[in-house]
Amino acid sequence: MTVDLETKSRVDCLLTDSAMFIDRDELSAWLDCFEDDSRYVVIPRENRARDYPVALIHCDNKARLHDRVTCLRHANKFNPHFDRHILSTARILSLEDGVAAVESNFMIVQTTKTGESKLFCAGCYEDRINVTSPRARFRERIVVLDTFSIPTLLATPI
Amino acid sequence: MADLDAAWPRNDYSRVRYDLFHDSDVFEREQDRIFRGPVWSVLGLETEIPNPGDFRVTAVGTTPVVFNRDQSGAVHAFVNRCAHRGAELVREPYGNCKDHTCIYHAWCYTLQGDLIGVPFQRGANGRGGMPPDFDLREHGLQKLRVAVWKGVVFGTFTEATEPLPTYLGPLMIEHIGELVDRPVKILGYQRQRVFANWKLYLENVRDGYHASLLHEFNRTFGLSRLTQISGGHMDDRHRHSLLFQYAGSDDDQAARQAYARDRVQRGEYMTLKDTAIVRYVKEHPHGITTRIISVFPNAVFHQIYNCLGLRTIRPIDPGQFEIVFILFGYEDDDEAMTGHRVNQANMVGPSGLISMEDGEALELVQRATAPDRDAYGMYEMGGTGTIRNLDTRVNEVPIRGFWSYYSELMGIEPAGAVR
């Protein structure tokens, strides 16, 4: 659907900012992209297609999302790497009560600390975004992973 | 071929030569002697194929396998390869069908794996076709022998494989049996490709020692600590294993001091804003909170608090394997319990707050051992010599048990081998 340029701009800004925060390893700033009452799920495409609830990362509230980042920072050991998100333009499906339903595609290239890059995953974001204030935030982000046979492991949020 | 006669400098498997994780001849021999040998492999769960005609693609070792349910409700399994020219027969990972038809030349098979259709078998216009003595009955799919126990589907390529209950033994029957004692409900799949040898994962799930050293989440929240009541038990032949744990059986402060003393924990312990993920709802009277149950050669059942799962391991080549996790609950779980299990699934799999580290650890071993294949890994935690059950997880003995049975099947036991 077509929306006013201001709404489109708020959506685009959130999508690019949130990806950039991950790529820069600024996960606190990334957390600020979510509303206080929000949901973040990274789900294999096969589970999404078959309505299975189990995901890879399943945070039903922001506290759990915050905990995920805490664990990543303080407990988990994983393959040291850099991420680069490559995003598609966003498709706005609807706008109701200040919340836009938005779909966009992504690929992530992972690079090791010794400088080797490879395509890590591809998939699609299914977002519900609160666009009422100049700084839009996610109410819900469902990351549907086409690459659901995860190479090695998936630590950093997508 | 690696010099397998030199594989074991000690007869108790307390040294394992790195060759075994890299050599391609070893890998081929494993396909013959183990996966196509006298073992029962887990194919999946019956509830994955609830209706007649439902099928799912899986694998036994590197061999592609399909299992399906026929019109009478019976479960069959066969190699996913057309008997004609070897094309992959079933191309969808799961689905429902009336029969299996190869796309290449449209040869058609029943859900029992029997060949029932060869287009133009008698030729066309009186020309061509198969020789007159061609018999459809002799060209069915290669079938596996199937056994279904409590909804778990097993398959074997060998007529001589012992009956499934004997193969599993009382320990597996008790502990797996308890996890599948009522109808299960699939909550979803997770898949992970690890660039390491498949046996490093079989070691990992028999390795009680690493669980709180590698996995800080376990240590921090006391899901699994070496200071707790715990242990590693095996079946009589030491091919399967059970690692078990009673969370809450140690003292938090004393445990933290013990880890700090041994220089494991160097920083502050973290805290959670939402602690539901580390809440255990008691489901069994004995109160075991974590069980990692490894079934030789390709399966692991786990109970980590209330997160239940079946993992099957599919070797791809000497340096790569895939783990398929099926997370499940029970048909009679209420909505809250299902939500709790889905939340606790955050702890397992390729993004697991506990288990993501395993993918990294296994690849570290694979990379670092590659250039020095005549060297050996060391397995002495819990003692050397006799392979026995221990009520501690400071213990690598179940790994030696695995290697012992592996060597028997591979025909590479050292002189005077401990079994």
Structural domains of chain A ordered from first start: 5-145 (3.10.450.50)
Q: Which of B187, B194, B274 sits opposite A67 (nearest CB)?
A: B274
Nearest partner of A56 among A66, A67, A45, judged by Cα: A45
Q: Which helix (H) or strand (E) holds B179?
A: helix B164-179
Largest CA distance in chain B: 87
Q: Are residues B348 and B249 in the same domain?
A: yes
Q: What is the pLDDT of residue B304?
A: 97
Q: What is the pLDDT of residue B2?
A: 65
Q: Tell which of B122, B148, B174 closes a domain.
A: B148
Q: Are residues B211 and B315 in the same domain?
A: yes
Across the interface, do B214 and A77 touch by the CB < 8 Å criterion? yes
Is residue B415 one of the residues assigned to a domain?
A: no
Name the domain count of chain B.
2
Could you tell me the pLDDT band of residue B1, with boundaries at 50, 70 and 90? Answer: low
Q: Which of B188, B192, B361 sits opposite A52 (nearest CB)?
A: B188
Q: What is the pLDDT of residue B178?
A: 98
Task: Write out chain A residues lying below 8 Å of B217, CB-based.
Answer: 71, 75-76
Is B214's Cβ below 8 Å from some Cβ in A?
A: yes
- Domain of B45, CATH number, reads 2.102.10.10
Nearest partner of A82 among A121, A116, A32, judged by Cα: A116
pLDDT in tens, B175-212: 999 999 999 999 999 999 999 999 999 999 999 999 99
Full residue range of the structural domain in which residue B66 is found: 41-148
Q: Measured on CA atoms in the order B206, B212, B214, B215, is the torsion positive or negative?
A: positive
Terminal CA-CA length for chain A: 26
Q: Are residues B220 and B337 in the same domain?
A: yes
Q: Are residues B219 and B134 in the same domain?
A: no
Distance of alpha carbon A93 from alpha carbon A98, whole angstroms: 13
Q: What is the pLDDT of residue A44?
A: 98
Mutation target vs A (from B274, B275, B279, B340; most A CBs, 10 A cutoff): B274
The predicted model gives B225-254 an average pLDDT of 96
Q: Which of B186, B220, B351 sits opposite A155 (nearest CB)?
A: B351
User: B342: alpha, beta or left, given left = phi > 0 and alpha = psi -120 to 50?
Assistant: alpha
Q: How far is CA A99 from CA A10, A126, A128, A138, in A?
A: 11, 13, 6, 9
Distance of alpha carbon B419 from alpha carbon B407, whole angstroms: 10
Phi, psi of A37 (to 5 degrees): -105, 90
Q: Tell which of B124, B148, B172 closes a domain.
A: B148
- Is the pLDDT at B174 greater than 60? The verdict is yes
User: B358: alpha, beta or left, given left = phi > 0 and alpha = psi -120 to 50?
Assistant: alpha
Phi, psi of B160 (to 5 degrees): -80, -5
For residues B77-108, one letter each, b for 16 or more C-beta atoms within 10 angstroms of the residue's C-beta and e for the rest, the string is bbbbbbbeeeeebbeeebeeeeebbbeeeebb
Is residue B36 one of the residues assigned to a domain?
A: no
Is B92's Cβ below 8 Å from some Cβ in A?
A: no
Our CA-based measurement puts residue A1 at a distance from the nearest CA of chain B, in whole angstroms, of 33
Arithmetic mean of pLDDT over chain B: 96
Q: Mind listing the pLDDT tens digit of every residue in chain A (158 residues)?
A: 889 999 999 999 999 999 999 999 999 999 999 999 999 999 999 999 999 999 999 999 999 999 999 999 999 999 999 999 999 999 999 999 999 999 999 999 999 999 999 999 999 999 999 999 999 999 999 999 999 999 999 999 99
Task: Write out chain B residues lying below 8 Å of A68, CB-based.
Answer: 346, 353
Q: Are residues B139 and B192 in the same domain?
A: no
- B47: tokens are 């509830």
- Is the pLDDT at B109 greater than 90? The verdict is yes
Q: Are residues B244 and B186 in the same domain?
A: yes
Is residue B305 one of the residues assigned to a domain?
A: yes
Q: What is the pLDDT of residue B7?
A: 86
| Residue A135, amino acid | R
Across the interface, do A53 and B188 touch by the CB < 8 Å criterion? yes
Our CA-based measurement puts residue B88 at a distance from the nearest CA of chain A, in whole angstroms, of 20
Q: What is the pLDDT of residue A122?
A: 98
| Residue B336, amino acid | A
pLDDT in tens, B287-312: 999 999 999 999 999 999 999 999 99
Q: Are residues B111 and B230 in the same domain?
A: no
Q: Are residues B97 and B186 in the same domain?
A: no
Sheet with B320-330, side-by-side order of all strands? A149-151, B184-194, B320-330, B307-317, B299-304, B290-295, B241-246, B229-234
Is residue B17 one of the residues assigned to a domain?
A: no
Is residue B63 one of the residues assigned to a domain?
A: yes
Q: Are residues B106 and B194 in the same domain?
A: no
Q: Are B338 and B329 in contact (CB under 8 A)?
A: yes
Task: Write out chain A residues lying below 8 Å of B349, CB-based.
Answer: 56, 150
Our CA-based measurement puts residue A157 at a distance from the nearest CA of chain B, in whole angstroms, of 9
- Domain of B255, CATH number, reads 3.90.380.10
In A, minimum Cα distance to B354 occurs at A76
Q: Which of A67, A153, A154 sits opposite B273 (nearest CB)?
A: A67
Percent of chain B's residues with pLDDT above 70: 100
Our CA-based measurement puts residue A69 at a distance from the nearest CA of chain B, in whole angstroms, of 10
Q: What is the pLDDT of residue B377?
A: 97
Task: Write out chain A residues lying below 8 Å of B356, CB-based.
Answer: 76, 78, 153-155
Non-local CB neighbours of A32 within 8 Å, separated by 6+ positions: A137
Q: How far is CA A143 from CA A65, A123, B69, B157, in A?
A: 14, 7, 33, 40
Q: Are B408 and B5 in contact (CB under 8 A)?
A: no
Count CB atoms within 10 A of the CB of residue B114.
17
- Is the pLDDT at B5 greater than 80? The verdict is no
Distance of alpha carbon A154 from alpha carbon B320, whole angstroms: 17
- B157: tokens are 């390529």
pLDDT in tens, B392-406: 999 999 999 999 999
Distance of alpha carbon B254 from alpha carbon B246, whole angstroms: 16
Our CA-based measurement puts residue A6 at a distance from the nearest CA of chain B, in whole angstroms, of 35
Is B415's Cβ below 8 Å from some Cβ in A?
A: no
In B, minimum Cα distance to A157 occurs at B351
Across the interface, do B189 and A71 touch by the CB < 8 Å criterion? no
Nearest partner of A43 among A153, A156, A123, A155, judged by Cα: A123
Is residue B6 one of the residues assigned to a domain?
A: no
Phi, psi of A9 (to 5 degrees): -65, -40
Distance of alpha carbon B59 from alpha carbon B399, whole angstroms: 24
Q: What is the pLDDT of residue B4?
A: 78
Percent of chain B's residues with pLDDT above 90: 97
Q: How many CB pairs under 8 A join A and B?
A: 124
Count CB atoms within 10 A of the CB of residue B189.
22
Alpha helices (H) in chain A, listed in sequence order: 5-23, 27-31, 45-49, 62-74
Q: Are residues B52 and B193 in the same domain?
A: no
Across the interface, do A56 and B351 touch by the CB < 8 Å criterion? yes
Q: Tell which of B126, B148, B170 closes a domain.
A: B148
Our CA-based measurement puts residue B356 at a distance from the nearest CA of chain A, in whole angstroms, of 6
Name the CA dihedral angle for A71, A111, A123, B201, rounded to a multiple of 10 degrees. -60
Least confident of A138-142, B4-8, B45-49: B4-8
Is B105's Cβ below 8 Å from some Cβ in A?
A: no
pLDDT in tens, B13-31: 999 999 999 999 999 999 9
Q: Are residues B186 and B238 in the same domain?
A: yes
- B149: tokens are 């126990």
Is residue B22 one of the residues assigned to a domain?
A: no
Using CB atoms within 10 A of its CB, is residue B311 exposed (0-12), middle (13-18) or buried (19+)?
buried
Q: Are residues B219 and B272 in the same domain?
A: yes
Is residue B381 one of the residues assigned to a domain?
A: yes
